[in-house]
Amino acid sequence: MSHEVEILLVEDSSEDAELTIRALRRYKIANEIQVAEDGAEALDFLFCRGAFKDRPPSQVPRLVLLDLKLPKVSGLEVLKAIRGDERTRAIPVVVLTSSKEERDLIEGYKLGVNAYAQKPVDFEQFSETVRQIGMFWMLINQPPPPGAFATSKAQGA
Amino acid sequence: MGKIGTQIGEMRHTEAELLSARMETAAASTRKMKVLIACGNTLAILFLLVKGFLIHWEARKRNLAEENLKQANERLERRTAELSETNSELESFAYSVAHDLRAPLRHIAGYSSVLAQDYGPRLDAEGLRCLTTIVDSAGRMGRLVDDLLALSQIGRKALAFQETELGSVVAQVVEELATESAGRDVEWQIGELFSAECDPGLMKQVFANLLSNAVKYTRRQQHAVIQVGLSTQNGERVIFIRDNGAGFEMQYADKLFGVFQRLHKARDFEGTGVGLAIVQRIIRKHGGRIWAEAAVDQGATFFFTVGTPEIKVREQPEPAIHEEEMHVARS
């Protein structure tokens, strides 16, 4: 299995994380969900550093669900780092946040986000939003073949 | 011969007399003239002195006035800057509050739903009723917070002016309202409007809010009539939206456009009380005015002007503040 962790959920609020995971499991979209509580932890996980230094780098999550307002390293900075590195460039990143500030939207798309959704207050709508995102990115969307980007980096170097 | 000689002598004498008399007159004239010239010059010099003094005095007065004006202008500019800063601080405060309220609210709504799903069967009727109330209230507060966010976003948005055919905006809004008025007898009377220089997205929101209100408040009418038209008041083009719905008491008209102000009970007509505040804010940003006339159970008419394109020049420099505020709002 190349995708051990299916979804990396970058979310500092444990309540939001729990509700998101609940929705993902309820609709049987993903079981292997890694939660990173801030941007720094997310980057450590993605680039196999710090607490995740023993994680095999070939295993990239199939989807990153990214909150924007995060302690230490902001969501947009995480996005920038993901898009800036050959190993992680192709990972679909969906921003799931409270803010629909025009500035965040513009910056998010400039940095190459795949989708941008606002967390609805109503739980049924929230579950439905998470379900639709999960359905599309985990079941309908075709990810790039495993290792495709790691190889192109080796060739390019 | 002697006679001739005497006569010539007399003539000479007379001539000499005349000459001396004329010379005397000339001398007197010259003296007078000199006195006159001297007087004239003195007067001219005096006049110039007075004039010079007056000019000097006037210039000083002007300088002083100019200085005062400059100071007044500076004061005014400072105050405007202070006001706009306070305003943007308030806007970002409203934004952060609303934004930060959303997360705990989402958790209340989320966990109550989880409770209902997982533990619903173990609760009795009263327990379920309480839980439903929590979910409903959280949902209502969510709508309030979202509307408040929308309102503060409009306050900070820079207008994107574009020549817009208002008639087609209305047609679009009416089409989108079809689901809201489905199954009801609603007669739309849409008159000719005009093409205006405005922000099309925001202007659509104005019509959407006003027309959906008209649909909402005519709900109890067997035959609802909603009119959109154009009238002229004091040479100004005024758009009106009239319905034959519930109306309101004119004595509360001043509260109509206030945030969270409602003139109807939530039980009768649902709503958060932000829709008309948004409408007023958009109209004001365009340099227009909005007012309403109504009577209870006899319908309401909303009038508004779109404003003049000159306003946009004044509105343009806003993005600078906008950017800064965003930062405050996000941090």
A104 touching chain B per CB within 8 A: yes
Does residue A108 lie within any of the structural domains? yes
Is residue B276 a part of any domain in this protein? yes
Q: What was the pLDDT predicted at B124? A: 92
C-beta neighbour count of B97 within 10 angstroms: 14
Residue whose pair of structure tokens reads 């005349």 in the numeric block? B18
Mean pLDDT of B269-276: 85
- Whether residues B102 and A98 touch (CB distance < 8 A) is answered with yes
The region that residue B287 occupies, defined by phi over 0 for left and psi between -120 and 50 for alpha, beta otherwise, is left
Q: Which CATH number is B207's domain given?
A: 3.30.565.10
pLDDT at position A150 is 59
Whether residue A70 contacts residue A10, with contact meaning beta carbons closer than 8 Å, is answered with yes
Average confidence (pLDDT) over B319-330: 38
pLDDT at B320 > cutoff 70: no
pLDDT for A63 equals 94
Residue B321: which pLDDT band, with cuts at 50, 70 and 90? Answer: very low
Is residue A127 included in any domain, yes or no?
yes
Per-residue pLDDT tens for B48-91? 999 999 999 999 999 999 999 999 999 999 998 998 888 778 77
| pLDDT over 90 (residue B323) | no
Contact B106 A103 (CB under 8 A): no
Beta strand ranges found along chain A (DSSP E): 7-10, 33-36, 63-66, 93-97, 115-118
CA distance A96 to A64: 10
Q: For residue A142, tell me if it sits in a domain.
A: yes
Interface mutation vs chain B, best among A121, A125, A130, most B CBs within 10 Å: A121
Name chain A contacts of B141, Cβ cutoff 8 Å.
121
**Does residue B322 surpass a pLDDT of 70?**
no
A-chain residues near B114 (CB < 8 A): 19, 22, 123
What is this structure's pTM? 0.61
In a domain, A83, yes or no: yes
> What are the pLDDT digits (tens) for A131-155?
999 999 998 998 887 766 654 444 4
Q: What does the pLDDT look like over B227-268, one tens digit per residue?
A: 999 998 888 899 999 999 999 888 888 888 888 788 888 778
pLDDT exceeds 60 at position B311: no
Mean pLDDT (whole number) for A90-107? 88
What residues of chain A lie within 8 A of the CB of B135, using their CB? 123
Alpha-carbon distance B132 to nearest alpha carbon in chain A (angstroms): 13
| Enclosing domain of residue B297 | 160-314
Contact status, residue A87 vs residue A146, Cβ threshold 8 Å: no
Residue B271, domain member (yes or no): yes
Mean per-residue pLDDT, A39-48 = 93
Count: domains in chain A: 1
Gap from A66 CA to chain B (nearest CA, Å):
15
Q: Is the ipTM of this complex over 0.90?
A: no
pLDDT at residue A124 is higher than 70: yes
Q: Is the pLDDT of residue A2 over 60?
A: no
Q: B103 and A16 in contact by Cβ < 8 A? A: yes
State the Rg of chain B over Cα: 42
The pLDDT tens digits for A74-87 are 999 999 999 999 88
Residue range(s) defining the domain that contains residue A100: 7-156
Distance from the Cα of A9 to chain B's closest Cα (Å) equals: 17
Mean pLDDT score, A34-57: 91
Q: Which residues of A touch B330 (CB under 8 A)?
A: 69, 99, 101, 103-104
Q: What is the CATH number of the domain that holds A13?
A: 3.40.50.2300
Q: Which residue of A has its CA nearest to B152?
A: A101
* Contact status of A121 with chain B (Cβ, < 8 Å): yes
Is A1 inside a domain boundary? no
Assess whether pLDDT exceeds 60 at residue A36: yes
The distance of B214 to chain A (nearest Cα, Å) reads: 27
Q: Is the pLDDT confidence value at B42 over 80?
A: yes
Please check the confidence at residue A17 and state whether its pLDDT lies above 50: yes
Q: Which residues pair with A96 in a beta bridge?
A: A117
Domain tally, chain B: 1
